[in-house]
Structures are given as structure tokens and as C-alpha cells.
Amino acid sequence: MDDNNVPNVKEIYGTVAKNYAKFRPRYPPQLFSFLSSLTPHHDLAWDVGTGTGQAAVELSKYYARVVGTDTSEGQIQHAERRPNITYAVTPPSMTNEQLDSIVGPESSVDIVTVATAIHWFDLDEFYGQVKRVLKKPDGVIAVWTYTNSSVDPAMDAVFERFFQKALLFSHPGVKLAVDKYETMPFPFTPVETIKLEIEEQRTFDEYMGLFKTSSALVGREEILEEFIPEFKAAWGAPLHVTRTVKHPLCFKVGKV
């Protein structure tokens, strides 16, 4: 695949920001109660690649202040607001001075979170920033993504064929998410995690809406259109009737 033909993350998610906020899965509350239990202090959380603020909003229930950053202005414009959340559009690469000004000074952050976004990052640079801002020795970094959706065997079989075709047009970093972050470098002392999954009720159109926000389909909507008749046939119920959609979560948690 020619990387020059792959839109950058800012262009991709700026284009689909409104639908991203509407259709992307919500993370289970148990995830955030677990993460908050790992930090002895609850002063400041930094949610990186915050998108439309799904994780930042949940963090704001546990931390006095949350900073949500993203390179996409479109995403930030559609982010959910809370009094104790500060959102900021950041450049892909930040100096230490910018980091201190936007997020906080060295050793000031209790937890850094990245929800379904770290596979877009320059990992070496990002990890250096995390090690700078996290409190020592109790600061925590938590990164997660959700894996392939599941409805039932018939729907899942169509999804797998669709997914394999869409993957051909995905950004190279998406492979880290496909691999459940198991192949991703993570230079932190590991913390044992818990097993979680996202479970939601969705209509057929809502289920398709999730795929329409995929980075691989921006400008290539015909990939999904090709499979919609098969998806409809496998849905097995009137399209307006909700069905249970599950997304297993995989995540890494560590300390400096």
C-alpha cells in the first residue's frame, strides 16, 4: 500500500467528526472506575487523541481536571463539554514548552489515557511526553482499543469479509489495533488489567454508521456499499429493530 494515498488522521476524523460523535461505541463505566482506582491522587487526567470526548467525559467524573487534546479541530468542535474538561487542538508534535502550557508541567498528571487512537501516534515521541508529565512513582498510562464487532455468526461472517477488504486501505498503524496492541512497544511497568467488553443495542443504520466513520472508508464509501445487501440479509430482523452488538476491549496499563 502506498502511504502517500492514505489521508492523515487530522483529515480523516475532521471529515467524519459529527458521525463519529454519534455512532462510535461508548466505553463501559467499569473501565473508568477501574482506572481511577489505580491512581492515589485525582487531580489531573490527560486524554490524548480525545476525539469527541467519549473518554474525557467519563474521566471528568473521577478527576478534578481533565485535559483532552486532539490534532483534529473538527473532532474537538464536536466534543462533549463539561465544566472541568479543557479541550485543545494540538500540533502532531509538541515541544516541552507546549506540553507544559497545554497539559501541565513535569510530574503533574495522575493518568494519561488514549482511547482507540495510539496506533496513529509517533510512539517514541509520545512515550517521552508521557514519562515527562506523569507523576512519579504513581502516575498511570492506560491505552485501549476495541476489536472486531460481533452480532451473531451470520452477521460476523459478512463483517469479516468486509473487514478484510477495508483493511487493505487502512493506515499502516491500524495493524497495531488489529493485533490488539500485543505487538506494540509499551515501555512501562505493566499493571494487571481486567476483562471488559462494550455491549450496545443498535439498529441496522446505527451499526452501519459505525463503519462509515472508519478511516479506511473516508473517500471510499463504495467498499461498505458493496456489502450492505449481505449485511441486510444477515440482520435477521426488521432494520429498525435493535440488536446486541459486542466489542471486546483490549488495553494496556502501565506505570513509569
For the chain, residues with pLDDT lower than 70 are 1-18, 20-21
pLDDT of 215: 74
Residue 20 pLDDT: 64
pLDDT, one tens digit per residue, over 228-239 is 999 999 999 899
User: Where do runs of H (alpha helix) occur along the chain?
Assistant: 9-15, 17-23, 29-37, 54-59, 73-77, 96-102, 123-133, 153-167, 174-178, 204-212, 222-235
Total Cβ atoms within 10 A of residue 159: 20
Determine the pLDDT at residue 218.
74
Q: What is the set of domains in the chain, with CATH numbers?
A: 3-255 (3.40.50.150)
Give 252's strand partners: 143
- 218 sits in the region (left: phi over 0; alpha: psi -120 to 50; else beta) called beta
pLDDT of residue 16: 61
Residue 7 to residue 175: CA distance in whole angstroms: 16
Q: pLDDT per residue over 22-51, tens digit each? A: 778 899 999 999 999 999 999 999 999 999
pTM of the model: 0.89
